[in-house]
Amino acid sequence: MKVTANGTEFDTRLEGPEGAPVVTLSHSLCCDLTAWDELAEDLKSDYRVLRYSLRGHGNSGATPGPYDFKLLADDMAAIQDAYGITKSHVIGLSIGGMIAQEYALTYPDRILSLVISSSLCALPDGAAALWPERIRMVSEQGIAATVEGSMDRWFVPGSLKDRAALDARVRKMILETSIDGYVGCSHAIAGIDLKDRVPAISVPTLVIVGREDMGTPLSSSELIHRQIEGSRLVVVDNAAHQLAMDKPDIFNAEVRKHLAEAA
């Protein structure tokens, strides 16, 4: 369902029993709400699952950038407002996890618990130069120029060999991302500066990461874990960036465990 929120039209989906606890899902750069198909299918019997495509991604409207995390967190809150949702667990992967951190800090009275997957609270050493280069490349060559590099970072070698449907699904999501959405969100990531603020997060928090994640390395999740008192860190072996799609059985089980404990 399309909803207008924070000045933009968003593609959204709300599933699950009315009155159940709400779980809001925020995906990675160059994906859309279908990146959560496996988790949403698992949770919707017991939870009210709200997912949406970020601005400039999938079938959501695009606006010129640059974006920042305050804007992207306000998007999430405004989408919830459109559905009358005032409290929610929040699960974010990659930039979605960065948005989730900002949301928890900006709207502490609305968040029940937090899952931060494959994410950052500060740029890793040496990463500052990557984002201007990626912005330049997409602005000049289009989004197709990102496909192979993204696939290489998102999945460990050989993990898609017998999974043609998943391979095609992920490539399709990348190619359907708008240049405005990619560039706008890339500016937000390039300017991420949450390290000194995230210790204020006090809700139950799960930090989960693939051991072979190159884009948001294990050290970045360890930093988030250290900064959020009482958080739980889970490291998934033989996995890279896109945990929810690549390792759904493990990811979904850890999310369910976290939600049960948070309740």
Give me the pLDDT at residue 128, please: 86
- Spell out the domains of the chain, with CATH numbers in brackets: 2-262 (3.40.50.1820)
Structure-token pair, residue 87 = 């409290």
Give me the pLDDT at residue 126, please: 84
Give me the pLDDT at residue 185, please: 98
Give residue-wise pLDDT tens across range 100-154: 999 999 999 999 999 999 999 999 988 888 899 999 999 999 999 999 999 999 9
Give me the pLDDT at residue 127, please: 85
User: Whole-prediction pTM value?
Assistant: 0.98
Determine the straight-line distance between the first and last CA of the chain, rounded to whole angstroms.
Answer: 29
CA distance 171 to 242: 13
* Parallel/antiparallel/unpaired status of strands 2-5 and 22-26: unpaired
Give me the pLDDT at residue 125, please: 87
Name the stretches of the chain with pLDDT < 70.
none
Give me the pLDDT at residue 50, please: 98
Give me the pLDDT at residue 12, please: 98
